Structure 1
């Protein structure tokens, strides 16, 4: 049996230790890859320059875009509803005023057909224009009728809407029935001409009967 040499034994011992360390490091590497042996290396860990996505909160970009689109659609729907509501209010406003004056308007027109001149009640009737924002854009005149006599009376009033040249474009009739002494009533005369027409209301006739 050959004799052993101290240098040779030392080399063998170093190789064994290196082999053992290599196996241990290999095992740690496999454990870091999940122990399957299929990975190419350990998974990268988040660093300060690469935030961990798991720490984020809120909606992802696609969900945010969807929510924004939904909010915009809702706003458009609300605006359309508001416009429809405004149009409906305008129609209701005109209809409600017409309902109040229609009762006396027809009677006023009939009464004035037989009146010569401008009538006997001009001093008891006043008139002022109404701002268009109060009448849904319509040209209108507020007619104030006051019974200045000592007995009950009815009134018929004719309002002419004239263009800048003084031509009568439209005539409307309003009235007040059975006013007690000192009582006042304020019917409204509306023009049905287009809103862009430049017209001015004028008190044409006023008759007490």
Structure 2
């Protein structure tokens, strides 16, 4: 790989966990990352410790390559899309002790297409449903800046399980402090605990 450079390649970008989660050949979201190897071989499935693995490229919002080979990055980046609305509804249903499987399955049906049979989600415990929703959101929205907020909504334990740099003793760091100006101008506000 030393004889060429790939813009955007990051050996430290997608974690092995993320690449393994997205390595289902029947799920169209597998192509979210292009996996780069230095031996010219096809590597399926992804092996986390493969010495030939050099990194991965996020295969979203790449723009358009013009006739002259220039890349134009003027993609519209979605803020919310239908899958987001479905999975947020699944979260709400799960928190209300309702069955979120219809919404999870609607997202999976699109992702798996004709391979959907056998990948149906069946309602489980609240914790199982929460994990399934988080997994679907990770697969669906990787690279779109939603993961942190997904973990915060899921609850403190999920944040601490997923973010190694954050310790439960620093739980207050999950939430922002309120500025001095806002506190001074609104007597109903109280500072976020820990600040």
TM-score tier after normalising by the smaller chain length: under 0.3
- Max radius of gyration: which structure? 1
TM-score by length of 1: 0.21
TM-score by length of 2: 0.21
Structure with more of its chain in strand, by fraction: 1
Q: Highest relative contact order (Cα 8 Å, sep 6+), 1 or 2?
A: 1
